[in-house]
Structure formats: C-alpha cells, structure tokens
C-alpha cells in the first residue's frame, strides 16, 4: 500500500470532501480516501499494483479538485 497526502485548494465545504472521497474511492485499488475541509488536505491510500498515482490525479482533475503541485 502507498499513501499520499495532497493539498486541494478548491475544497471549500463538506460537499467538496464527500465528492472527492466518493469519486477517488471508487477507483480500483484505492483503499481509503480521507479529506479535511479546514486544512484542504486529502490523504489517499492505494495499491500501486492495481492503480497508478497518475490515474488518481487525473480523476481529481476531471472532477475539478486537482491537487496542488
């Protein structure tokens, strides 16, 4: 398992966090997604054999919540 915490500047409310958790969490290989609206941080755990970080990042961009560089 790999884990990464990223800042997502577009998070402004609980709905934003729920959207990210639902969409990213539905990807194959993603074990958990946890967001915090106050810090705008999202922590994602995934199986690198099942999915690649690039796929996770692209999904976040598609739903308009791209991680900060």
Q: Domain extents for the chain?
A: 2-62
What percent of the chain is predicted at pLDDT more than 90?
99
Q: Computed over its alpha carbons, how large is the radius of gyration of the chain?
A: 11
- What are the beta bridge partners of residue 7? 41
pLDDT < 50 stretches in the chain: none
- As a dihedral over the C-alpha atoms of residue 36, residue 15, residue 4, residue 23, rounded to 10 degrees, the angle is 160
How much helix, strand and coil, in percent to the nearest 5, is found in the chain? 30, 30, 40
**What is residue 34's predicted lDDT score, i.e. its pLDDT?**
98
CA nearest to 39, candidates 1, 68, 3, 59: 68
Tens of pLDDT along 32-44? 999 999 999 999 9
2-62 CATH: 3.30.70.100
């Amino acid at each position: 398992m790999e884990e990464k915490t990223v800042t997502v500047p577009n998070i402004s409310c609980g709905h934003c966090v729920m959207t990210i958790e639902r969409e990213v969490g539905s990807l194959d290989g993603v074990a958990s997604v946890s967001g915090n609206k106050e810090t705008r941080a999202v922590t994602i755990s995934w199986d690198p054999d099942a999915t690649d970080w690039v796929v996770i990042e692209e999904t976040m961009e598609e739903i308009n919540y791209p991680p900060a560089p």
